């Protein structure tokens, strides 16, 4: 199983690389698998590659889920040593 993060393309270089951003993070990723991607598009990023172009609503919904998961880390119910029932 992999986790791909939706990120928005900020710029595209002539070498097939793109600068993308999400939640304050900026990364350079390869567009080899998504040559149709354009500046402003949202792409799913995994292991340094944009693996799929997604729509803005999908990206927003997914980023909200990621934020919610990170908030669970601080929840005592999910802390180390808690017993799942």
Domain spans in the chain, listed from the N-terminal domain onward: 5-78
Assigned CATH for 5-78: 2.30.30.140
What predicted TM-score, i.e. pTM, was given to this entire model? 0.80
What average pLDDT does the chain have? Answer: 87
Amino acid 48: pLDDT: 95
Instruction: Give the CA dihedral 39, 27, 24, 42, nearest 10 degrees.
Output: 30
- Quick one: three-class SS letters along 26-57? EEEEECCCCCCCCCCCEEEEECCEEEEEECHH
Sign of the CA dihedral 75, 80, 83, 85?
positive
Residue 1 has pLDDT above 80, yes or no: no
With b for 16 or more beta-carbon neighbours within 10 A and e for fewer, the 26-40 pattern comes to eeebbbeebeebeee
């Amino acid at each position: 199983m992999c986790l791909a993060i939706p990120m928005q393309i900020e710029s595209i270089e002539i070498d097939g690389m793109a600068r993308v951003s999400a939640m304050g993070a900026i990364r350079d990723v390869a567009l080899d698998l998504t040559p149709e991607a354009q500046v402003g598009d949202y792409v799913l990023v995994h292991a340094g590659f944009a693996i799929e172009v997604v729509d803005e609503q999908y990206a927003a919904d997914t980023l909200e889920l990621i934020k919610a998961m990170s908030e669970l880390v601080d929840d005592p119910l999910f802390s180390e040593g808690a017993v799942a029932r």
